[in-house]
Structure 1
Amino acid sequence: MTTATLPTGESLPDPDCWVRRAGADPVGTVAARLSVWDAADVLLAVEAADETTIQDLNVKTRLYGQAGYPVYWVVTQRAIYEHTGPIPTGYRTRVEYLHGERIPVPYTASELAVDDLIAAHSG
């Protein structure tokens, strides 16, 4: 059985979830157990972060950007950080979406409400 993850060069960060293009097939495997996907087939990589926020906003942003994944979200209790425009050092753009805002999702031609993705935080 092959596990799906997103290898990035020499690293194997394992996103909490990701979305791939319908009908996409792996382009290879790593150690015969991890599927390798073409970056063009990965529509969105997501990390749910609280204790790992610093690592997800820095180290993993660089890894996913270098690999060419077009959109990367870091989801925290307070905000969703959307990274777009992959470049060798990470991403060109980072937008912070807060409660009450909506995130455009181009590959679905729709938007998602931040409040539907993260619970309201009191305090």
Structure 2
Amino acid sequence: MVKKDSYKDKPKPPNREQIIADLASAPENDTVYMHQFADISSIQCSKDNSSEHSDNSHGQTGGQSEPSVSDRDKINQTYEHVKKFIQLHSDIKSEPKTLDEKYKHLEKLGKDVEDSISELKSAADAIVKKAKK
């Protein structure tokens, strides 16, 4: 079954203010944002820096310092969590096919068991008939 896109055009990505609002409303235990992103006070909200944010591919402005070691650790931890979730998602996507294959295999084994039981019953009936003669 082929899934058709219900959108003719892709939705527009969120603007800076929407992203900041999402970060501000995220709970502290949110796996995606984690603790270091829950406090938006660390994010510069001035519109003067918005052009610098869009020019910089790493999301850091020229005036910002490098993240601290603990921030890097949190970022790396978040990155590892995201990688793990992506892998789990891939695994889950392949599970229906795997389960279907296992189900078909079990059906075949069940049929083989039924056939073996029928053969055993026939053999037992034949032995009983021979014993009665």
Structure of larger gyration radius: 2
Query: In proportion to residue count, which structure has more strand?
Result: 1
TM interval, shorter chain, is: under 0.3
Q: Which gives a bigger RCO, structure 1 or 2 (Cα 8 Å, sep 6+)?
A: 1
Query: In proportion to residue count, which structure has more helix?
Result: 2
Structure 2 length-normalised TM: 0.21
